[in-house]
Chains A and B, each alone.
Chain A
Amino acid sequence: MKRVDLKESEYIVKPATIIKAKPMTALEKFFEIELDSGASLDHEPGQFVMVSIPGAGDAPISVSSSPTKRSSFDLVVRNAGKLTGVMHRLNAGDKIDIRGPFGRGFPIRILEGNDLLFVAGGLGIVPLRSLINFVIDNRRDFGRVNILLGCKTPSDMLFGDEVEQWGQRLDVNFNCTVDKSDPDWKGNVGLITSLIPGVNLDAEKTFGVVVGPPVMYKFVIKELLNKDIPARQILVSLERHMKCGVGKCGHCQIGNYYCCQDGPVFTYEEIKDNIEAL
């Protein structure tokens, strides 16, 4: 067996540097990252990268910042195992490697000119933030914007400062809820589905964008359909086990789709008859 260097490969990594790192909750840590080449990541909202650390492996992580921020990008990493565990020990100045961006993000050209209803549950805010901030940075190009946020307890809330700002903006309708409150919490208590009936919307021109844990989708989608939002206007981002990111390794397969290439963003129309999607 001969071995030669390969200049062209899907497994080439881009060296990058962490320029900011801070813990967000007990489990999640925030990272701001710059590619060492100086180039922009040039992603679309909703895409993900493979974060690679030689020896620890690589893992798919959503890009959490809007592409309107050019020189660096944000990741939020939950400590879930080997690679993510190593990531949690890294700080500003440390090096990581990046592959990607990969996948099909949110269809921003199609969303333009329409009303948006964002529904984020738990960690779902991480990928959704890339689109929400994109929309806020290009606010003129979109119609009414509703943001609904849900998490387990107030202390699980990610991006608290930013979320508060969304809440204060006049051009955004914002509402959030927790499953279990604590003494300081003054907002809603209950499942995120309970917030949907109260939203005032024009179903024909509204796109519902839903990102959250797998169990959430069925219930939220049902509420959106009850509001008469058509299936092709409901967008979800699905999580699957991923190894290659380039539609080969088979791990991320959802019926006929490769989540890493055909997704992670799908319309409900595309997956409603898929036996493995929801």
Chain B
Amino acid sequence: MKQFKILEKKDFPQFIKRLSKKHKVVAPVSRGNKSYAFTQVDSSDQIAMKYIPTILPPKKYFMPQRETLAQYNKSKKTFQTVLEFEELVIFGVHTCDLAGIQCLNIVFSDTPKDINYIARKNRILIIGLECNDYCDEYASCKVMDSHHPNGGYDLFFTELKESFIVHVNTLEGEGIIELTGLFKEATSNHLKEREGVIAAKKKIFKDEVDVHYKDLKPMFDKSAGSKVWEDLEKRCLSCGNCTNVCPTCYCFDIIDEINLDLDTGYRIRQWDSCQNEDFAKVAGGESFREERGQRQRHRYMRKFSYPVERYARHFCTGCGRCSRTCMAKINLKETINALAKENR
């Protein structure tokens, strides 16, 4: 099995050192108070190897919060489309976030293609990291089938007792193996130990809600008039935090900014949220999702129904970020269970 390599734990500091000499490396770093953020690192002791989902998902590198699409000069009558990018290695991406990146890839590669996204993504290397246990009680990655890897990485690290067993998925991943020069071939003992980890995970990870994966979409499709949305209507503050932190939310706004010379400026795009009241408002004054409950329903439908039809994929990874961040304590697992209860 030459796709599997071994990195001894004692060599991990060297690995990060060598890697960060050649590449800009970002990894989960503790921000105190049980919160973490992907941040540039050059040493392994900066990295939180056990972390719960970062405040913002790695989406921020693929689809920056704010990005210039074009720069213009009014008097010279120029309008030049541009690409902003950064060559990057992201270390330590959990499987739920790998799934999130895959969702974004699908959307932005669907025709008409988004060249800005694709060109940027092609310059980012991804090193995944297996979760051997749950992050916390907000996660619902098992029911979304993203508690284990389904591709989407260049290298994938699984922690064993003394070492990491690393799956090499791409030529670019192999490049990192060669560059750092610290990896050995995996032996059958290593492979057996890895199987043990996977078997142990099967016992730990259980459906976190009262609905099976395949029943989620039918349940949401029947939910249009549900009381659950009326409840969310009363509680939601429309702050948009849930969509900002979601690894699969990709809505944006396009805005023209003008410099102080009143002649040059930028057309930019920045994250937007379907939870904002003006999001779907048109010039005639109609707003097509005027009520908070309708907007919450829309958010959930965009996870569990619409993308399943369009891209054959659920756009929830079960990362739990929306529930962790919500000031109104709106909780994804509870919403799903409340709908399931209504259905029974």
Contact = CB atoms under 8 A, between A and B. Distances in A.
Interface of A: 1-13, 15, 52, 54-58, 78, 80-81, 84, 95, 97, 213-214, 239-241, 243-244, 246-251, 253-256, 275-276
B18 to A, nearest CB: 24
Secondary structure at the A interface, as helix, strand, loop or mixed, is loop
17 contacts: A1-B84, A6-B83, A7-B81, A8-B115, A10-B112, A10-B115, A15-B79, A52-B79, A54-B72, A54-B79, A78-B283, A80-B283, A246-B112, A246-B114, A251-B280, A255-B306, A275-B224
Interface of B: 68-70, 72, 74, 77, 79-86, 107-108, 110, 112-116, 119, 224, 250-256, 258, 265, 267, 269, 272, 274, 279-284, 286, 288-289, 298, 301-302, 305-306, 309-310
Contacts of A239: 282, 284
A250 B250 contact: yes
Nearest to A13: B79
A14 to B, nearest CB: 10
Nearest to B283: A80
B256 A256 contact: no
Contacts of B254: 57-58, 243-244, 249
Contacts of A213: 284
Nearest to B294: A276
A251 B283 contact: no
B281 A241 contact: yes
Contact of A214 (B284, B301, B310): B284
Nearest to B263: A55
Contacts of A54: 72, 74, 79, 256, 265, 267
Nearest to B71: A3
B115 A249 contact: no
B108 A248 contact: yes
A276 B72 CA distance: 37
Contacts of A2: 84-86
A43 B325 CA distance: 46
Contacts of B114: 10, 246, 248
Contact of B107 (A9, A248, A275): A248
A243 B256 CA distance: 12
A11 B306 contact: no
Contact of A5 (B77, B80, B253): B80
Contacts of B107: 248
The winner among A12, A241, A246 for most chain B CB atoms within 10 A is: A241
B267 A247 contact: no
A237 to B, nearest CB: 13
